[in-house]
Amino acid sequence: MSAKWQSRLELAGIYAFILFMFIVISYPLLWAMGVSLNPGTSLYSATIIPENWSTEHYSWLFTDPNSQYLLWYKNTLIVAFWNTALSLLVVTMLAYAFSRYSFRGRKHGMYTLLLINMFPVLMGMVALYILLNILGLLDTLAGLILIYVGSSIPMHAFLVKGYFDTISRDLDESAKIDGAGHFLIFFRIILPLAKPILAVVALFNFMAPFMDFLLPRIVLRSSENYTLALGLFNLVNQEFSNNFTRFAAGSILIAVPIAAVFLILQRFLISGLTAGATKS
């Protein structure tokens, strides 16, 4: 009898803790949602459950001539698309060479890659700024894309290499005996088998421009080139308490789709990550 009671007590404790976590997690999110539905721009009078519901901030984002929200959305999508496509190509090729070939400089190359991965990109910002200026790419989306692609290489190359290592070598050996060339093996055999990790890398690269505000802040100057994160940050940063409700509305419109994608794909993401990082 006492064992049963103990078990019940334990279970109650578990549920109580989970409930507590639910409240802690959802409070800030619900608060932001509530605030975005408050009329007016004052943060002080805004409440989590609005007294008068209003969608004025949402319609402002889309219809007001001063709002550049849709433009920022378009910019972000452009950056996200090119970042994903270019990164995938460059990263998989690099990872394939490191995983399958033994060549002079391989070991040193891997150590260098790992070492570079440790340094935050922020450290090289001054040089990148000057370099983009010399190349005439400052305040352009192309410049931003180049930096995103380059800086994502080391970390993702390691993830992908780890995954390639788990794919049996017998497959490419036999294809080689059948006379398949290097690129044929790569594109027709290895890449299709590595779809899970490619999806993970693609997703991370696609999401990065939606979440990062720092690089755009340094590279982009004119507001018609802003990405979403930077544009929204400036909404709050300029006059904090004045535009917060508007910022909340704009953020929810990007947070909801991103969160949905992550939640739907989470199992997939996690298995890709642990397989790549640990080769279990």
Ranges within 137-196 binding other proteins (CB under 8 A): 146-147, 149-151, 153-154, 157-158, 161-162, 165, 169, 172-173, 176, 182, 186
Which among 49-57, 58-66, 67-75, 204-212 is the span making contact with other proteins, rule CB under 8 A? 204-212
Closer by beta carbon to other proteins, 75 or else 151: 151
Site for other proteins in 219-238 (CB under 8 A): 229, 232-233, 236
Q: What angle do CA 166, 102, 85 make, to 5 degrees?
A: 60
For residue 129, how many C-alpha atoms fall within 13 Å in the half-sphere facing its CB? Answer: 13
**Would you tell me how many other CB atoms lie within 10 Å of the CB of residue 9?**
10
- What is the pattern of x (binds other proteins, CB under 8 A) and - over residues 19-48? --xx-xxx-xx-xx----------xx---x
Size of residue set near other proteins by CB under 8 A: 106
Task: Measure the CA–CA gap between 192 and 149, rounded to whole angstroms.
Answer: 22
CB of 263 to other proteins, least distance (A): 5
First to last CA, the chain: 42
φ, ψ at 26 (rounded to 5°): -85, -25
Judge contact between 245 and 57, C-beta under 8 A: yes
CB of 65 to other proteins, least distance (A): 25
| Residues comprising the chain, all counted | 280
Which token pair is 22?
Answer: 């639910």
Our finding on whether 55 is near other proteins (CB under 8 A) is: no
Q: Which of 5, 65, 101, 170 binds other proteins (CB under 8 A)?
A: 101
Site for other proteins in 103-132 (CB under 8 A): 103-104, 106, 109-110, 113-116, 118-128, 130-131
CB of 29 to other proteins, least distance (A): 7
Closer by beta carbon to other proteins, 157 or else 201: 157
Closer by beta carbon to other proteins, 5 or else 101: 101
Judge contact between 278 and 163, C-beta under 8 A: no
**Would you tell me how many other CB atoms lie within 10 Å of the CB of residue 45?**
11
Our finding on whether 266 is near other proteins (CB under 8 A) is: yes
Our finding on whether 199 is near other proteins (CB under 8 A) is: no
CB of 105 to other proteins, least distance (A): 8
Q: Which of 78, 97, 142, 203 binds other proteins (CB under 8 A)?
A: 97
CB of 66 to other proteins, least distance (A): 21
119 three-class SS: coil
CB of 125 to other proteins, least distance (A): 7
Burial class (CB in 10 A: 0-12, 13-18, 19+), 53: exposed
| DSSP track, 217-251 | HHH--SGGG--HHHHHHHHHHHSHHHHHHHHHHHH
Closer by beta carbon to other proteins, 68 or else 117: 117
CA neighbor of 209 nearest in space, from 257, 148, 260, 152: 148
Which token pair is 228?
Answer: 């979403």
